[in-house]
Amino acid sequence: MGDRSRAIGIHTTVPANLISYFCAKIYRTSSQILSLFLPVSMPETPKEDTKIWTALSVRRWGEGYFAEKQIDSPRLTMELMLCNILRYSRIDLYLHYDKPLTASELSALKAMIARRVKREPLQYILGNTEFYGLEFKVDSSVLIPRPETELLVESVIEYIGTLAQSISILDIGTGSGCIALTIAKKCSDSRVVALDISESALEVATKNRDALSVENCELVKRDIFLPISVKMPFDIIVSNPPYVSSENMSELEPELALYEPHIALTDGADGLKFYRRFADIFQTILAPNGIFFVEIGYGQVSDILSLFSDNYDCSVKNDLAGIPRILIGKRR
């Protein structure tokens, strides 16, 4: 994959002497910090005798509070919330560790913390996430882009790099547009069409297209299980379809099960509904020399390969964990 420092989970390295200096300035009255942020007791505005809370002291409290609530990456979560509120980069946060937070900033942070402890995904709280080095707006109408899907995009971009001519690309189930818009931006000579059945998802994708200044991507509302009327055939088809079975939905972590759109997670059946449809329609919407790249779920590779075995030559690409993740195929 590409440079993994783009991933949201990488911590910024801080010199040891700077850490020591930070630690020397940490307020030791943890009970006061706790009372400042507990949802039931945090004041709307500071009282005159209330201690001034700095970015560092707040971050230290938040890290402990999130750890107690078993929230993943507690320090990173708190830092990203502070960066969002203060309009800082993470480097800025370290450089301005002693900045006092205003009453309005503390109030905004309190609201963010309350949402996160209810297991709402951090990306929805912040309103954006990073994908393949680009920033995408996200909300509860779209699936949050995953690192595994960066592998899907990278595979497509690498393949396009081997071609001499401009090409047409179809993205099925575009959601936030992270796949289609990234490919369109990185491969500006290509023509990309992105489909989704959700009007609200397409609204998010449109905002992302505008923010990224992408001009070679058309967003279209379509149900893939109905006849497709967009221009075809396509040289490349790419998709990250809903592949969680209805049986496995109950096993998802709360962030997914409670907040992410089920229409983007599950087909409401055995997790293979979209792949059956793809095996059928790719015969007509994929160019004779075309190629498709489709993300697949854990434990699905054998069943999916059998669906495509009659009419396609396929290979599988593993993700960084060694799990079969990308199905790549061509028409025979």
Ramachandran sector of residue 326 (left: φ over 0; alpha: ψ -120 to 50; beta: rest): beta
Q: How confident is the model at residue 231, as a pLDDT?
A: 72
Q: Indicate the burial class of 288 (C-beta count within 10 angstroms; 0-12, 13-18, 19 or more).
A: exposed
- Give pTM, 2 decimals: 0.83
Q: Assign domain 133-331 to its CATH architecture.
A: 3-Layer(aba) Sandwich (3.40)
pLDDT digits (tens, 9 = 90+) for 254-299: 999 999 999 999 999 999 999 999 999 999 999 999 999 999 999 9
Angle at which helices 103-117 and 30-37 cross, to 10°: 80
In this structure, are residues 230 and 206 in contact, taking their beta carbons and an 8 Å threshold? no
Q: Tell me what pLDDT residue 230 has.
A: 65
Number of H helices, E strands in the chain: 14, 9
pLDDT of residue 227: 87
Q: How many whole angstroms separate alpha carbon 290 and alpha carbon 133?
A: 27
- What is the per-residue pLDDT across 162-199, written as a single tens digit (0 to 9) for each? 998 889 999 999 999 999 999 999 999 999 999 999 99
Q: Report strand pairing: 191-196 vs 217-221.
A: parallel
For residue 322, is it left (φ>0), alpha (ψ between -120 and 50) or beta? Answer: left
**pLDDT for residue 50:** 61
Cβ-in-10-Å burial (0-12, 13-18, 19+) of 236 comes to: buried
In DSSP terms, 326 is beta-bridged to 295, 317
Q: Do the strands 312-318 and 324-331 form a parallel or antiparallel pair, or are they unpaired?
A: antiparallel
Q: What is the pLDDT of residue 11?
A: 31
**In whole angstroms, how large is the CA radius of gyration of the chain?**
23
Residue ranges covered by each domain of the chain: 4-118, 133-331
Q: At what angle do helices 55-68 and 30-37 cross, to 10 degrees?
A: 80
Bridge partners of residue 129, in order along the sequence: 136
Question: What's the whole-number mean pLDDT along residues 92-96?
Answer: 95
What is the average pLDDT across 100-115? 95
pLDDT at 145: 97
Q: Supply the pLDDT for residue 146.
A: 94
**Residue 21 confidence (pLDDT) above 70:** no
- Number of Cα atoms under 13 Å in the Cβ half of residue 245: 9
d(CA 264, CA 242): 5
Percent of the chain with pLDDT over 70: 84
pLDDT at 164: 82
Going by C-beta distance under 8 Å and a sequence separation of 6 or more, which residues neighbour residue 160?
A: 167, 183, 187, 190, 236
